[in-house]
Amino acid sequence: MTVRRILTIDNAADLAVLKQISTPVEGPVTDELRRLMDDMLETMYDAPGIGLAAVQIGDARRVIVMDLNDAELEGHAEDAEADEGDEAQVARRNPRYYVNPEIVWAADELFTYEEGCLSVPEYFDSVERPARVRLRYLNYTGETIEEEAGGLYAVCIQHEMDHLEGVLFIDHLSRLKRERAVAKVRKNARLAA
């Protein structure tokens, strides 16, 4: 497995790629696609993060990886939030793989959560999304899965699926907040250089 560079919004070329709409994976889940997902997972763990879309490492195919703990997967975000500071949280290994994911239903009820993004480093803000969604996707072995997601799981899958449409979480914010986010990320990148 290889750790890949994560594209960030402070780089104009990276931003152009991040704004692309990803293309569906044609055909079955192959060994080459599994290698991509393994690299994505390793990259996400190294960052560290809980989700990553292929476009964030420059591959514009409809592929996502995530790793949430059991409480997060069951939709109990309050349990997950209490564990966020734990070292074990970063080291978790409950990987999930999504090829050609699609949301087939979304609840009318909304849920607000403070989101962050590996492509928008060190910036967090509240985003409102449907509280529950039903999704369909192919897993690591190519099996079709349909399941319901709630809480942080719903937030994370919707956030990552936005990436597949060229949408960043800051695109859900007001123009002023978006401008602040971009300015902060650019400033942090300059200071780190």
Q: What residues contact 3, with CB distance under 8 A and at least 6 apart?
A: 39, 42, 43, 46
List 26, 42, 143, 160, catalytic entry: 160
Q: What residues contact 130, with CB distance under 8 A and at least 6 apart?
A: 106, 107, 108, 109, 110, 111, 154, 158
> Could you tell me if 152 and 110 are in contact, meaning their C-beta atoms sit under 8 angstroms apart?
no
Q: Strand 144-150 vs strand 132-138: parallel, antiparallel, or unpaired?
A: antiparallel
| DSSP code string of 78-115 | HHHHHHTT-HHHHH---EEEEEEEEEEEE-SSEEEEEE
Q: Is 160 a catalytic residue?
A: yes
Q: Which residues are designated catalytic? A: 160
